[in-house]
Structure 1
Amino acid sequence: DNEHSEFVFTHEFGHSFADLADEYYDSSTAYNELHKSTVEPYRPNITNLVNFDAKWKNMIDKKTPSPTPNDPKYKGVVGLFEGGGYIAKGMYRPYFDCSMNKIVLYNFCPVCQKAIVDMLGQYAK
């Protein structure tokens, strides 16, 4: 009965069902060793640009700057926002404010939504 129970459920569902990564980071505590810089993270919603073509690159509008500034002006835009997977620099997430990043209810970004739909497709085969 916590005020954030619905968010926590939604967020944790993203981890357990679609293998989504946490998109947040804490600049005072970095987990730089968690992801090797020479290997693309396997999770669909973070990238270190080693193999970005296999991620959401095709979902970014050509007018959107890459990297995309962490500015509310880019809210609602698929981009390449620095900071994710517990790492402030060199790791990128697709959206300014997805349920995998901030306390927002039922707001998976288009990249996370695609990962969920892809997983549903695996079960529907």
Structure 2
Amino acid sequence: MILGLHHAQITIPKGAEEEGKQFYCDILGLKEVEKPESLKGRGGFWLEVGDRNVHVGTEDGFDRNTTKAHIAYLVDDISYWKRWLEKNGVKPIEGVPIPGFDRFEFRDPFGNRVEMIQEI
């Protein structure tokens, strides 16, 4: 039996951790959490998102702009996030409508597809 979602992982290029932290921690406001000592040598960093984690790993040789794979962050004020991201140079992309939700997408600085979604 699957009990729930423990974490999700996205990737950024090797050596881009500081730029990744600047975007995910400073702009999105997510909290970095300590990785276990046994995994620190692999690069990347972990983020706390509500009661779950997003693991930001590192890998090269992959064009993140070519995939529909994404992570969706549930928010309580979609208009705020659209304005905030635009103010920080991020271009929102309107998503296909889903009944009961307001949402938009964008690409992070590394090409990862990200969705902001709010229940209405």
TM superposition score category, shorter chain reference: under 0.3
What TM-score do you get using the length of structure 1 for normalisation? 0.27
Q: Which has the higher strand share?
A: 2
Q: Which has the higher helix share?
A: 1
